Structure 1
Amino acid sequence: MATANLLSHIDAPPTWRRIDCVSDIHLHASDAATAAAWQAYVDDAPFDALCILGDLFDVWIGDDLLSADPTADADMAFWQQAVAALAALARRRPLYVMRGNRDFLLGARFASAVGCTLLADPALLTWGQQRWLLSHGDAWCLDDRDYQAFRAQVRTASWQAGFLAQPLAARLHQARALRQRSQQHQAAQRAAGVAPVDVDAHAAAAAMAAAGAHGLIHGHTHRPGTHPLPGGATRWVLSDWDASAQPPRLQVLSLTPDGCQVRPLAPAAA
Structure 2
Amino acid sequence: MTASVPSPSAGPLPQPVPELHAPSRWTSIDILSDLHLQAGLPGTTAAWARHLTTTTAQAVILLGDVFEVWVGDDAAEPGSFEAHCEAILREASRTRSLYFMAGNRDFLVGPGFLARCGVQALPDPTVLVAFGRRWLLSHGDALCLDDVDYQAFRRQVREPAWQQSFLAQPLEQRRELAARMRAASEQRKREHGLEGYGDLDKAATLDWLRATDAEALIHGHTHRPADHTLPEGRRRHVLSDWDFDTPGQPPRGEVLRLDAQGLQRVTVPAAR
Per the normalisation by structure 2, the TM-score is 0.90
Shift of 1:130: 1.1
Deviations 1:8-34 (A, max 9, x none): 221101221110000001110011111
1:204 is matched with which residue?
A: 205
Residue 128, structure 1, aligned to residue 138, structure 2: no
Distance 1:39 1:29, change over 3 A: same
**2:45 counterpart SS class:** helix
Find the aligned partners of 1:168 and 1:104 in 2 and give their Cα distance.
16
Find the aligned partners of 1:217 and 1:125 in 2 and give their Cα distance.
10
Shift of 1:7: 8.9
Paired residue total = 255
Residue 62, structure 1, aligned to residue 72, structure 2: yes
**Is the contact between residue 45 and residue 89 of structure 1 (CA under 8 Å) also seen in structure 2?**
no
Within the candidate set 101, 104, 107, 2:107 is matched to: 104
**Is the contact between residue 7 and residue 117 of structure 1 (CA under 8 Å) also seen in structure 2?**
no
Find the aligned partners of 2:202 and 2:85 in 1 and give their Cα distance.
34
Residue 35, structure 1, aligned to residue 45, structure 2: yes
Deviations 1:149-186 (A, max 9, x none): 11011011111111000000000011111111111111
1:183 is matched with which residue?
A: 186
1:267 is matched with which residue?
A: 270
Per the normalisation by structure 1, the TM-score is 0.91
Find the aligned partners of 1:26 and 1:86 in 2 and give their Cα distance.
15
1:149 is matched with which residue?
A: 152
Code of the residue aligned with 1:196 in structure 2: it is Y
Q: Which runs of 4+ in 1 moved over 2 A?
A: 193-196, 229-232, 244-247
**Is the contact between residue 17 and residue 125 of structure 2 (CA under 8 Å) also seen in structure 1?**
no
Distance 1:7 1:210, change over 3 A: closer
Shift of 1:115: 1.0
| Identical residues among aligned pairs (%) | 45
Find the aligned partners of 1:145 and 1:108 in 2 and give their Cα distance.
29
What's the C-alpha RMSD, in Å, of the aligned pairs?
1.6
2:235 is matched with which residue?
A: 234
1:3 is matched with which residue?
A: none
Please show how residues 8-23 of structure 1 align to structure 2 within 5 Å.
8-23=18-33
Stretches of structure 1 lacking an aligned partner (at least 5 in a row): 1-5, 71-76
